[in-house]
Structure 1
Amino acid sequence: MVMGTTGSKLEKALGEHFPEGERYFGLENFGNTCYCNSVLQALYFCVPLREQLLRYHENNKNIGDIEENLLTCLADLFSQINSQKKKTGVISPRRFVQRVKKQNELFRSYMHQDAHEFLNFLLNDLVDILEKESNVAKVSPEASSSSSSSAKVANRLSNSHVNGVQKEPLVTWVHNIFQGTLTNETRCLQCETVTARDETFLDLSVDIEQNSSITCCLKNFSSTETLNAEDKFFCDKCCSLQEAEKRMKIKKSPNILVIHLKRFKYVEQLGRYKKLSYRVVFPLELKLNNTIEDSDAEYSLFAVVVHVGIGPNHGHYVSLVKSHNHWLCFDDETVEMVDESSVQTFFGSAQEFSNNTDHGYILFYQKS
């Protein structure tokens, strides 16, 4: 692809400070695919993920019969960017976008799509592919021959159960990078018994309020709610419905913490979703104070997917990325340097009606 003027401008701006071996490439837009491009840029600069995908591409590039899927297309795209001779320019993610559309009909139209839905779909699909590959790898050579179908069945059963006990689910490198654990605690107010249930997450979706901060949003996420009246909790110890207190806590913090700000709210009177342009401050350095296993997990912000526009069905996505202590803005084909202080312009608006429509939507933090 021919390098545009923005590329040469960026090289001039960085000059001798251009990071060794790094590539800053814009992505071609195929008609409303900015939701995909913005997420891809944030993920490319998620270094642990990039390294895994480049390794995956290296290990699989000579295997002729590997079936094309989202993982192979993503690894191929990252490898293409990483191996460019030029430092800047534009790359076409056509093969990857075609695969996304083939895989999920939600993304087939030319309508405005949701970047968070896309991120969710992509990470879960990568997990599915890695789990399938792991299961195939576990099948022994004898079991793979067509004559021994009984061996295949026995192998499949032995993979899922050991002495009648269900095995732990497979932990892939996607889990190692993005997965954290929440614990849902319910305390019976009659007998004080606490019931805890764990669940995993790849990203956290948090409610937002006007003039708040990420710390405040996460506090509200973990706040205690009382279950009473029609919402009483069935306590196993009391063997009856009881009033209870319930709260969600982060038990294990992930290496990469992805926070999705719920900026789109369904308004019944309007019969549609409305965008909340609330001002929510997201710091460059974040401390997670409410985690159980890691009392003071510290994170650094390295990417922000920004929604530009006044509503959920129209608009545009760009991403801000921190790479080697420089902040860059990726807007489809265009890449330019921005000041660190400009990150604050994406916090949102303190007034209900404002000309500023560019708001932080998905935040990517890396554990320090």
Structure 2
Amino acid sequence: MSSFFGKLKSNTDSRIASATTPARNKPDPNAPLPTPLERMLESAGPLRQDGSDKFWGMENFGNTCYCNSILQSLYYSVPFRENIISYPQRSTPDSISKAAAAAPPRPKYPPPSQKPPAPKPSVANAQTQQQKTEDKESPEYKKKQALLAGPILNMSYQNAIAYDMPDSLYSSVKDIFEAVVTNERRHGIVSPSKLVEVLRRDNEMFRGQLHQDAHEFFNLLLNTLLDNIDDNEKRRLKAEADEKENDTGNSPEQMAETSTVSFPSLLPTAPPGPTKWLRDMFEGTLTSETRCLTCENTSQRDEPFLDLSVDLDQHTSVTSCLRRFSEEEMLCERNKFHCDNCGGLQEAEKRMKIKRLPKVLTLHLKRFKYTEDYGRLQKLFHKVVYPYHLRLFNTTDDAEDPDRIYELYAVVVHIGGGPFHGHYVAVIKTQDRGWLLFDDEMVEPVDKSYVKNFFGDKPGLATAYVLFYQETTIEAVRAEQRREGKKRRASQVALTETKAKESVDLHRIRSATPASPIEDGDMANLDYAVASPPMTNGHIDPKTPPPAPQSPPIIQLPRSKKEQAKTEREQKALEKEQKAAAKLAEKEAKKQKEKEEKEKRAALHDRLGEAARQNAEQMRWAMEESKKTAKEDAGRRGEETPLSTDDAPTNGSSPVRMNLFRRSKSLRFGPMGKRDEDGKKPVLDQENQKVASPDGRNATEQAIDELQESSKDGKEKGKKTNRFSLRKKSFGLLSS
């Protein structure tokens, strides 16, 4: 059951050994090689008082791997360890050393009566046994070496008397934690024989050498610890009450003085205070909401839980399993709900939500399922992905801190093909040393990616069974990511330097081959050597230059799959950054182009406005010049301008229109029915572009004369209406 586990660890061991093995000038072949854990702890600082830097394995007594994996996971929960050691009080180092000195010898498991019969020696068995003992990479060999190297902490004693507590499972766990914390060694092996003895004494199901379930032991342990604390607290309160009653009941004078009578309380008492820390850590509250489909009445019921057992599907994740855990369930047919409002069995919808979140969330992946085809439990090897950080979403509206973030810190792994046989190990994240593998007596450091080997899709029988998540904060997660980024960059630099050094050494070996010395027998061949160059047609053939020394070819070292995947990720990230930069540059270029077009339109608008203003100025200037020219022409001819800008009529006619009227060529003056005396047509004055009469006067002079005549004799002129006077009146030039 551990062969797969040993093969899975081989690559990790080789990487850790190559990265952490110290350089030695003259290694001693007889000296034992340091373990990966010893190599990791070579640069460790002083010991801590809280025991967080202690890495002790636990001895397996035949089938107690389920107990070892759960205890290791609980020990590295800092709040749990501190509260266990502190209640009811801390033991002194002297009491611990005295109890250890008086402890009985460590028992060896299994007992001699339960040892399997030894097989008859044969040649094949001898060869197989020899091959197994020579396999130094197997977990069995490493565990034996750890037991031989020691030290072994014999925990066959109970120190409960020192802190005034009866012998129980709680006192056994407390003794183990105190012994590890107060020990001066960082690593070793704990032999929890007393704990196993108490466990089997109080629980019949754990007796014998049968395979046990780690999840069942976890539930039993937490419930037993709660009961032990409650019983001890009740015993302590009763002892204090008895002592007070004895003190006050001995003297009759004191009894006479006290006239009050005390009655027992009828209200339910709250659970004792010392168990509050344990309930806050592991206990949460589930709310079962049931809605009747007939009357739409919703009823709620709260239930406490120590862990969440989730069903598994093929190719899924823990988040998906939790979502399915909170899905609505239809209660119908035989599973109808009894509604108090309707008063009978009705169809209903049921849903589970989390009302209160614990500080340590324990998830039990239900790997063992009963199948009707085989009539027994079978192990499910479904792929279930679990994240390093988890946030629950299926909480109620009134839940406290529903956005709490959880961090994975321990994984209990089951190795085996069924529920009745196999092996349990624990992969735990420590505070300063990262992830460690606890396989009974063996403790080894592993990489963070090693935790992903137990999703269920890897070849073999190892799958994650119990997941421990503890609460954390966003700041802690970001700080951890920054530390991992620095370590990753440092490892990349170290790997690049190592490759460069190997390439230089390889080049030096190929180019620095020494020349072989000339022996005495080789000198005989020089007697027949040609002393002059060969002649060809009387000419000496030119000597061919020696070939240039070629540099040794560069050998590409084979890269691992991890490095190739890392290179591909870096290339993808670089391509993504380049695309983002190109898109940003294109966006900036588009904005710049739009800005330039807007500036061009604004400049064109300004130019058009300036051109319009110039045209208006030129038009105004031309009008003024034309007026000046008209006045000058009138002065040269000795005439007055009949109408100017200052003499504009007040009836609304404009001088421009008068000028047009005055200079019109199509206007003919004089009576419409009367021709000239000489029978001639009016003559056009070419110089002034005016219509002139046959006697030499122009139309303006004729109009003035007629106007004077009409003023003398208004009645006669009123009767005689000529064309010119009508035109003048229509333009508002005649005054009354």
1:45-124 equivalence runs, <5 A = 45-56=76-87, 58-59=89-90, 63-64=161-162, 66-124=165-223
Structure 2, unaligned runs of 5 or more: 1-31, 96-160, 250-260, 473-736
1:177 offset after TM fit, Å?
1.3
The CA distance in 2 between the partners of 1:319 and 1:141, in whole Å, is 43
1:343-362 equivalence runs, <5 A = 343-349=451-457, 355-362=459-466
Match of 1:318 in 2: 425
Aligned to 2:418, what secondary structure does the other structure show? coil
Match of 1:236 in 2: 340
1:15-70 Cα deviation digits (max 9, x unpaired): 43568521001101111111111111101111111011121274466745532110
1:200-279 equivalence runs, <5 A = 200-279=304-383
| Structure 1 pair 362–102 and aligned structure 2 pair: CA distance change class (3 A) | same
1:211-243 Cα deviation digits (max 9, x unpaired): 111111111111101112232212111222222
> Normalising by structure 2, what TM-score?
0.45
The CA distance in 2 between the partners of 1:218 and 1:122, in whole Å, is 25
- Checking the alignment, whether the CA contact within 8 Å between 1:112 and 1:314 is kept in structure 2 is yes
- Checking the alignment, whether the CA contact within 8 Å between 2:367 and 2:381 is kept in structure 1 is yes
The CA distance in 1 between the partners of 2:189 and 2:33, in whole Å, is 10
The CA distance in 2 between the partners of 1:268 and 1:358, in whole Å, is 25
- Checking the alignment, whether the CA contact within 8 Å between 2:294 and 2:346 is kept in structure 1 is yes
- Checking the alignment, whether the CA contact within 8 Å between 1:221 and 1:248 is kept in structure 2 is yes
The CA distance in 1 between the partners of 2:336 and 2:46, in whole Å, is 58
Aligned amino acid, residue 91 of structure 1: V
1:144 offset after TM fit, Å?
5.6
| Structure 1 pair 137–232 and aligned structure 2 pair: CA distance change class (3 A) | same
Match of 2:603 in 1: none
| Higher normalized helix content (fraction of residues) | 2
Q: Does 1:332 align with 2:440?
A: yes
Match of 1:35 in 2: 66
1:134 offset after TM fit, Å?
1.8
The CA distance in 2 between the partners of 1:107 and 1:217, in whole Å, is 31
- Checking the alignment, whether the CA contact within 8 Å between 1:307 and 1:361 is kept in structure 2 is yes
- Checking the alignment, whether the CA contact within 8 Å between 1:57 and 1:75 is kept in structure 2 is no
| Structure 1 pair 17–166 and aligned structure 2 pair: CA distance change class (3 A) | same
- Checking the alignment, whether the CA contact within 8 Å between 2:36 and 2:445 is kept in structure 1 is no
Aligned amino acid, residue 323 of structure 1: T
The CA distance in 2 between the partners of 1:8 and 1:283, in whole Å, is 30
1:98-155 Cα deviation digits (max 9, x unpaired): 111111111111111111111111111000011111222332645368989xxxxx99
1:347 offset after TM fit, Å?
0.9
The CA distance in 2 between the partners of 1:276 and 1:218, in whole Å, is 18
- Checking the alignment, whether the CA contact within 8 Å between 1:6 and 1:334 is kept in structure 2 is no
Q: Does 1:26 align with 2:57?
A: yes
- Checking the alignment, whether the CA contact within 8 Å between 2:91 and 2:178 is kept in structure 1 is no
- Checking the alignment, whether the CA contact within 8 Å between 2:328 and 2:351 is kept in structure 1 is yes
Tell me how many residue pairs correspond in the alignment.
350
1:55-99 Cα deviation digits (max 9, x unpaired): 127446674553211001100001111122111111111111111
Match of 1:151 in 2: none
| Structure 1 pair 261–6 and aligned structure 2 pair: CA distance change class (3 A) | farther
> Normalising by structure 1, what TM-score?
0.89
Aligned amino acid, residue 194 of structure 1: T
Aligned to 1:53, what secondary structure does the other structure show? helix
The CA distance in 2 between the partners of 1:228 and 1:116, in whole Å, is 32
The CA distance in 1 between the partners of 2:384 and 2:86, in whole Å, is 37
Aligned to 1:166, what secondary structure does the other structure show? coil
Percent identity over paired residues: 46
Match of 2:467 in 1: 363
Q: Which has the larger radius of gyration?
A: 2
The CA distance in 1 between the partners of 2:46 and 2:320, in whole Å, is 36
1:277 offset after TM fit, Å?
1.1
- Checking the alignment, whether the CA contact within 8 Å between 1:7 and 1:88 is kept in structure 2 is no
Which segment is superposed worse, 9-18 or 178-187? Answer: 9-18
The CA distance in 2 between the partners of 1:246 and 1:136, in whole Å, is 42
Which segment is superposed worse, 289-298 or 206-215? Answer: 289-298
1:280-295 equivalence runs, <5 A = 280-292=384-396, 293=399, 294-295=401-402
- Which of residues 304, 309, 317 in structure 1 aligns to 2:411? 304
Q: Does 1:125 align with 2:227?
A: no
- Checking the alignment, whether the CA contact within 8 Å between 2:63 and 2:209 is kept in structure 1 is yes
- Checking the alignment, whether the CA contact within 8 Å between 1:179 and 1:254 is kept in structure 2 is yes
Aligned amino acid, residue 299 of structure 1: Y
Q: Does 1:165 align with 2:165?
A: no
Aligned to 2:421, what secondary structure does the other structure show? coil
| Higher normalized strand content (fraction of residues) | 1
1:295 offset after TM fit, Å?
2.3
| Structure 1 pair 229–18 and aligned structure 2 pair: CA distance change class (3 A) | farther
Root-mean-square deviation (CA, aligned residues, Å) is 2.3
The CA distance in 1 between the partners of 2:34 and 2:298, in whole Å, is 58
- Checking the alignment, whether the CA contact within 8 Å between 1:285 and 1:298 is kept in structure 2 is yes
